[in-house]
Amino acid sequence: MEIYKTKQIKRAIDKISEISESKVSQEVCGLLGKKKDYYVIQECINISETPRDQFVLDPIQYVLFKNEYEPIALFHSHIVGDESPSDYDILMSENSCLPFMIYALNTKAFYIHVPKNLDVDIELVKKTQYKIEENKHDKYKNIRNNV
Ligand SMILES: [Zn+2]
């Protein structure tokens, strides 16, 4: 599937929300990674039998991605409810040692679950978390300014 590259983490996060917003009837999933000085976003096929309620990322897609890029997080969307991780999300994140980034269509907000055992560079994860917090702050600021 299509690969998107950008040097700015903010653009990478915006791209993930765009991909999520593009499908309203099923959860999207994909991978965020890095290579040299650019970030990479790859949307993956949700192979779940019930893609409206859950996502399953093809493990082969992850292996192929990992061969080429340094993974930062796995992302998926929630089309119902908010951006809080489900029990399944937490379990899968802990088992794969990969941070799970969730974007909720209802709240337009992100959440990152960071597993106890981490298989990726913590500095890259922190940078992503920081940017998400900054985006939230900007959004609230804009709302306040518009009142
Ligand atoms: Zn989820």
pLDDT in tens, 41-56: 999 999 999 999 899 9
**110 Cα: distance to centroid of ligand 1 (angstroms):** 11
Question: Dihedrals φ, ψ of 110, to 5°?
Answer: -105, 155
**145 Cα: distance to centroid of ligand 1 (angstroms):** 32
At 2 the pLDDT is 82
pLDDT beneath 50, residues of the chain: none
Cα separation, 143 vs 140, in Å, equals 5
**85 Cα: distance to centroid of ligand 1 (angstroms):** 5
Cα separation, 110 vs 103, in Å, equals 5
Sign of the alpha-carbon dihedral angle for 88, 79, 136, 9: positive
At 146 the pLDDT is 63
At 89 the pLDDT is 96
At 135 the pLDDT is 80
User: CATH number of the domain at 3-146, out of 3.30.565.10, 3.40.140.10, 2.40.50.1020, 3.90.650.10?
Assistant: 3.40.140.10
**99 Cα: distance to centroid of ligand 1 (angstroms):** 12
